[in-house]
Amino acid sequence: MGIPGMKNLFSTKSSKNVGPLCFVILGMAALFFVIQPRFFSLTNLTNVGRQASVLAIVSCGQLFVVLVGCIDLSVGSLIGVTSVVTTLALLEFGFFPGFILGLMTGVVLGGVNGAVVSYLRIPPMIATLAMLYFAKGAALTITGGMPVERLPRTFGILGKGSALGIPIPMLVAALTFGICYFVLAKVSTGRNIYAIGGSEETSRLAGIAVRRYKMFAYIVSGLMAALGSVILSSRMTLGQPILGEGIEFESIAAVVVGGARLGGGKGTIPGTILGVIFLAILGNGLNLSRVSSFTQMIVVGSVLVAAVVVDRWRG
């Protein structure tokens, strides 16, 4: 037995809004090329892809949470605490145990977020804001506020290396996008996630385990934050307790610019990819144009507000 309105619900997650965003991205890239011809150099584009890969991975997890009608403000701090756990474990036990312990840190803390939101019924913004402070405090306490240094050079291969001329972080991001797309578009888990975001009460009456799927979404978000943290730590070759600060807002911006609805039930992986590309090109172009980082924050904030306004108007 299907859920009433399921056909209409899935029509909202189509990629019909991808076209206009593509034109905006192409126009913006052309503008930055005119301002600074180095924009389209292979070196610059490779750097943009490498730097945007972490945001891309984290945004995938954020999309899962947004689709069920929630939000995750803790991903930045999860990156910081995962960086600390991963590098300390790497020094003690080696790369593979450190990598696994880092990912498990994200899964556990993401699961805590999900449990607090789903079973204790704490509003997502409050629950994840509390986790933001908890994870940041834990990371700073473990390290005494100091970075974890003297890591083996081989650890840097994941974040700095390339395979067949393609940066490894980009390959990891592409694989992540592929897996997330398959889950959301091809299996029942994705259909249920969209259904919950479309109408939580209807989904519950249809027999969907709403709390379980919300918890799953937060676990995915925590896992993606941890994976991004390992890559970012590898690129810097150190563990940094304040690593990832601000990426929670960038990931939300990427998801919303990509067409996701903050109320849930609408959003796609292709749209999120374009949202990440949009922010990456915008940030890189402004850097090449020597626009200050403070002004860039104003621009990104304005873009986020504009994207929400357009989504409301379209709805």
- Residue whose entry in the numeric block shows the structure tokens 């067949």: 164
pLDDT at residue 14 in the model? 43
Under DSSP, the state recorded for 156 is G
Is residue 89 one of the residues assigned to a domain? yes
Q: To the nearest 10°, report the CA torsion of 149, 44, 254, 225.
A: -20
In a domain, 227, yes or no: yes
pLDDT at 6: 43
pLDDT at 16: 56
Q: What's the pLDDT score for residue 127? A: 96
Cα–Cα distance, 187 to 139 (Å, whole number): 36
pLDDT for 315: 59
Token output for 24: 């905006």
Residue 1 belongs to a domain: no
Helix axes 269-288, 168-186, angle to 10 degrees: 150
Q: Give the number of C-alpha atoms closer than 13 A to the C-alpha of residue 147, restricted to the C-beta side.
A: 11
Domain count, the chain: 1
Q: What is the pLDDT of residue 292?
A: 86
* CA dist., res. 52 & res. 57, Å (int): 9
Cα separation of the two ends of the chain: 28
**Could you give the 3-state DSSP secondary structure of residue 166?**
strand
Q: Which domain holds residue 113?
A: 6-314
pLDDT of the residue at 11: 40
Count CB atoms within 10 A of the CB of residue 8. 9
Question: Whole-angstrom Cα distance, residue 290 to residue 283?
Answer: 11
Question: Is 46 among the domain residues?
Answer: yes
**pLDDT tens track, the chain, 315 positions:** 444 334 434 444 444 567 778 888 888 899 888 888 888 888 888 888 988 999 999 999 999 999 999 999 999 999 999 999 999 999 999 999 999 999 999 999 999 999 999 999 999 999 999 999 999 999 999 999 899 988 998 899 998 988 888 899 999 999 999 999 999 998 999 999 999 999 899 999 999 999 999 999 999 999 999 999 999 999 999 999 999 888 998 999 999 988 898 888 889 999 999 999 999 999 898 888 888 888 888 888 888 788 777 767 765
CATH number of the domain where residue 18 is located:
1.10.3470
